[in-house]
Structure 1
Amino acid sequence: MSDTALLSAHTGPADGAASTASTASTASTAAPPRTGRARAVLGWLFVVVLLIGVALLSLRMVAAAPALTGVLNPASPGPNGARALAELVRQQGVDVEVVHSRTAATAASRSGATLVLSDPVALSDDAVTDLLDGAERVVLLSTSARMLALLDLGVSAAPSADASAGLVAGCALPEFAEVGEVRPERVFTPAAGVVGCFADADGDAALLVGERDGTRISFIEASRLLSNDRLADDGNAALGLALLAQGEPVVWYVGSLEDGDRRADTPATLGELTPGWVSPAVLLLLLAGIAVIWWRGARFGPLVAESLPVTVRASETMHGRARLTARAADAPHAASAIRTGTRARLAVRLALSPRATPAEVADAAADRIGVPRGSLHRLLDGPPPADDRELIELARRLAELETAVETAARTERTRP
């Protein structure tokens, strides 16, 4: 047997144990870095997933169409809805059908039903004309300058004091005779041949009733008058019944942008506003950013906390600055520091803002201790002292002022 083999056999068990211990020690010391690396990888993975989620949401973002069904919606129980009025009309034995399609509204109104709608902002003039021409009776519950001009019922008028105080019908239409007082939102000057009800002293009326090609049109701004939260006020409920509960079935058209024909007025989506290359470019930049984060993040090790070599107390800094000021015999600088500290302490004592001006601090202190304001203005923000004697006198007077303010504050707290 060779010397090498003998040496291996002689030292094998001991060296094997040492090697095993060394391997275990290395494994035990290597475990924490692997755990830290795993945590770092999980953290970066979370960031990547978050960025991808944000990117997907951005790519899917579109401009939402505004809702047109909130005000005077007969199915809405909210404050601005008209569900209470619709139920009240049904209690009078009148059938109320709510439709969301122009086709259904036109078909129902041509069969003898009363067509009720708010200002059809999503319809063009031609579509509005086609919708109204087929009905025998139309009630418009909200107004606009466009509808006034299109239907030729009159023009807008300035509101008067009579309208806010309350108006009665005062017209020859019998269904409104027992309505009582209402406080309209808008009034109009009726055109020739148009009946105006609930008129003020100037003849401007809140309700316009006219004929257009055989269609009777009632025109009123009732967005608040006939809403759920205002229906019980004054004669609002009676006005709603006079408008809608006249025996004929009611077809209540609730418009929307989807049912409208004014496509040019619909807001464009984000994809329509941006060029076609923007989305791929954003996605490419996002992927490049993720790659850079992964590349650079793998180079970073665990954070190491390192304490500062020196800790300087605030009092030592203050004393050092004071010694430098005394050595330089800089009385103006020292006076400025003393005044700044005095103003800060007085501001706290007088419940002022930390950013209060010297004049505000002086005024508050003068009011607290009952001295003329001018003297404190000069004391807190006057000219700097010329020498050490004036500096000492200034410091003494400032200390007396703080003591006086403190005494006055303590007296006010103890006063019964």
Structure 2
Amino acid sequence: MSFNTAPTATPRVGEALHQARWIIGGFLLLLVSAVVFGLISNPTDDNQLSIHNPRPNGAMALAEVLKDRGVKVHDVYTPRDASQLGENDLLVITGVRDLSEKHLQTLMESPTTNVLFLGTFAQSNRLEPYVSAVGESNPDGLAPRCKLPAAFEAGPLHGSRGSLEPLREPAAACYEVAPGKFAYLKFVRPGGLTVSFLSEGKSAQNQEITKGSNAAFLLNLMQPADRVGWVVGRTFQLSSPSGAGASPDMVPPAFTQALLLFFAALLVLGLAKGRRLGRIVKEELPVVVHGSETIQGRARMYRNMAAFETTAKHARSYTARKLGENLHLPTPLTAQALCWEVANYIDLPVPRVEEILLGRAPRNATELMGLLKDLNSLVQKTKRKEQK
């Protein structure tokens, strides 16, 4: 055997690691797989109209279609991020109600790129000096009724919650909800850059994008851009680290589930291994006692605990039963009668047999070993004589 650990002792660290190498390897493989899967997976969140949200209220479907068509779509978290966009790009702003007045005006007048506000319901005068958000709505299909190619080619929208009233002359006014109130308005700013407003933001949601001409209209608005920067009001310009919880979760759910599975399996392994003190090792006693493994196991345990008296008691009890079986003696039988029968059968003095079977308990390991040898000798002599 390659290890010298006592059979009833706790295994050494190196030995335990060697024994559990396949289990540890499996856990490491599980952990590495979870890490790799987490790195190659896209992060997700649950923010409304987020390009990372696969739920019904997210806008991941629209973002993925844009990416498939060659448009680079990415998040914009700060005004500095927005300033990186150029005149051939588009800044899409969602979650208007979560933006401060300062940030709203900064984004609306972005000096480097075109701007599209997606979802302006109940924003009233916050979008001045371009539009006023009013409450007139139309849940039915809305015809374009304008010459804007993006709207004319797309066809009717599914509907609009709220509408927009222009405060200055628009470059395009499409999908009239009520007289003088529209679902979409477009304005040209000084320098040629544009700012547009779409009243109903839900048209970009995963659950609504396929209804009516929602997808076609939004793709026509965004696809001409080389890059689309996406603002979610809840995650824009986080003022403190405590607000970071609203940003996309960079740890995919699958990674978290894999870690939970790993620790659960580790707990089960610990409970299973903790049921016993160490390895189960087969070990022979210094003397052969022909009996059940229970007797041998108890004797070894008690001897290791220096319980010589208990060990001797079990050994003498077993030997007495074995002698009775070898001599075919009737039961029950007194101890003195058993000693007389054994002494008479193997021609040994009765006092000597009584000393072996009924004598005092051993006081140390040497006396215990001597007693075990004597007990075994009695069993062997009665067995050999019976066989003759």
- For the criterion TM > 0.5, the same-fold answer is no
Q: TM-score scaled to structure 1, two decimals?
A: 0.42
- TM-score after normalising by structure 2: 0.45
> Could you say which structure has the higher helix fraction?
1
